[in-house]
Amino acid sequence: MRLTVICVGGKMPGWVNAGVDEYGRRLPREFKLAWREIPLARRGKDSKPEALRRAEGEQILKAIPVGDRVIALDVAGRPWTTPELARQLDDWQMSGDNFSLLIGGPDGLSGDCLARAERRWSLSPLTLPHPLVRIVLAEQLYRAWTITVNHPYHRD
């Protein structure tokens, strides 16, 4: 199984890349976690959020590997507990499918991206900065994997 995280924005601070890389290194080879960055749409004083979402959304949709099942990270999505995420991860692995997880830009995901997703997942009802979302996502994927293999990292 391969998970591709498609996220808007680039030039993350070193601490973000270090955190994401650290959790990625901890995952086994059979759990492939790839990151694809989509550049932010050009913003100006007259930019409209819907136009920005649409422009970024077009690029996100083009970046989804053919055949991938899609999960959108969306504040209005369904929150999962860590054990629920572990069950999801186990189901994803057993399906034999590949998945893309979508992280929108500052204005969120376009309607087309949300429509393409089979599920919407909320990491938190809080508004999180995009750099932090990447680290939280990487850590939670690692934590969920540890649950599926009875590794002692996660404690109930």
Q: Round to whole Å and give the CA distance between 134 and 142.
A: 12
Annotated binding site for S-adenosyl-L-methionine: 73, 104, 123-128
Distances (CA, A) of 20 to 11, 28, 135, 155: 14, 15, 5, 21
How many whole angstroms separate alpha carbon 54 and alpha carbon 51? Answer: 5
118: left (phi over 0), alpha (psi -120 to 50) or beta: alpha
Among the listed residues 52, 37, 22, 31, the one whose alpha carbon sits nearest the alpha carbon of residue 130: 37
Cα 95 from chain centroid (whole Å): 19
Angle 97-24-91 from CA coordinates, rounded to 5° = 30
| Feature table: binding site | 73, 104, 123-128
